Structure 1
């Protein structure tokens, strides 16, 4: 099961957006997938060293998470030559507590104050360094509407990224995330976009009780 999870995530990270040869932000994508591959390797090694502790009672049991994020869209200067603006970005994600080894699904929606929207779903891997620090590479696919923000070239867009979060004892996570979005070259243009957000992920029990 763990090998299938790793293969699926790496394939999503490398194959989908990685074919976006026209994107101006290939350097950002390359940094994401190389970092993600290194993190997944660290997760495998750590899992073996700990004797599969990641799925044992020694690790905290996760709850479904509701994630709220705020940040900025179009944050890399090299990507601004046809859209000279950095809109405010708002994000919501639902992260179920279903895990296949360290990987779990998520669904999300984000929007900018200029009216662009992105509805997406994908898979995320939680690589733990102790019981509190979690680095999470992710890959997703979704439907984009530009509004008055940047034209990304095609409604179908792929997102890759990494989140670094601190997990508190009650399951609350506070973190920062960096993502790259592009259409993998299936559109007439593929400028790509980069985003940075500050995220708070609340166990669903914060809102609905135990």
Structure 2
């Protein structure tokens, strides 16, 4: 799994290098809107302590540096673990109907009855590939890694596979 995560980080780095040259294809595009995301999946894949994951996040539409958007949310698991987080994300829009999102965040983690990840501060980084509907809602498959970046005595980390549905904020509150 660490090899997969390393590959994701390398891809993310390449994404940002290309993005600085072609920022008009990213999240500051007129095709992007603020979104609320609802996710469900498997937390700690491949472990004896895997659990169901549910997540709610907010994805802002105000781009920083023309590419990065704020993201914040909360994850809970069936083992009563909770992770509240905030960070930055970037979208690569592929035509009208496909998007790849990359994000990195930091937040507070409580293990509940689940996996002890070694510290109460945990970093979450991930990638999501989604289909965009005409109304700008999305359905996507995501992969994330949660880790304390070795600030704790142990750093077992956890991988998360999730299915996400995002809906424009304007569709909820208008």
TM-score (ref. length: structure 2): 0.91
Who is 2:133 aligned against? 168
Partner of 1:127: 92
Match of 1:159 in 2: 124
Specify the alignment match of 1:178 in structure 2.
143
Change (3 A) 1:55 1:119: closer
**Superposed displacement of residue 39, structure 1:** 2.5
Question: Does the CA contact (< 8 Å) of 1:93 and 1:109 recur in 2?
Answer: yes
Structure with a larger share of its residues in helix: 1
Q: Which runs of 5+ in 2 are unaligned?
A: none
Q: Whose Rg is larger?
A: 1
When residues 53 and 64 of structure 1 are mapped into structure 2, their CA distance, relative to the original with a 3 A threshold, is: closer
Q: Which runs of 5+ in 1 are unaligned?
A: 1-24
1:66-125: CA deviations, max 9, x gaps? Answer: 1000000111x3xx3xxx132110000011111121210011100101100000000001
- Cα deviations by residue, 1:11-57 (Å, 9 ceiling, x for unpaired): xxxxxxxxxxxxxx532321220121233334345x27xxx46588x
**Residue in structure 1 matched with residue 40 of structure 2 by the alignment:** 70
Picking from 28, 52, 55, the partner of 1:88 is 52
1:138-191 CA-to-partner distances (Å, cap 9, x unmatched) read 110000000011000000001111111122221101111110011011111100
Shift of 1:133: 1.3
1:20-59 pair list within 5 angstroms? 25-45=1-21, 47=22, 52=24, 59=29
Task: Give the number of the structure whose residues are more often strand, by fraction.
Answer: 2
C-alpha separation in 1, matches of 2:81 and 2:133? 33
SS state of the match for residue 11, structure 2? helix
Cα contact 1:116–1:146 (8 A) shared by 2: yes
User: Partners of 2:54 and 2:4 in 1: how far apart?
Assistant: 21
Asked whether the equivalents of residues 105 and 124 of structure 2 are also in contact (C-alpha less than 8 Å), the reply is yes
TM-score by length of 1: 0.76
Q: For the residues of structure 2 that align with 1:92 and 1:198, how far apart are their CA atoms?
A: 12
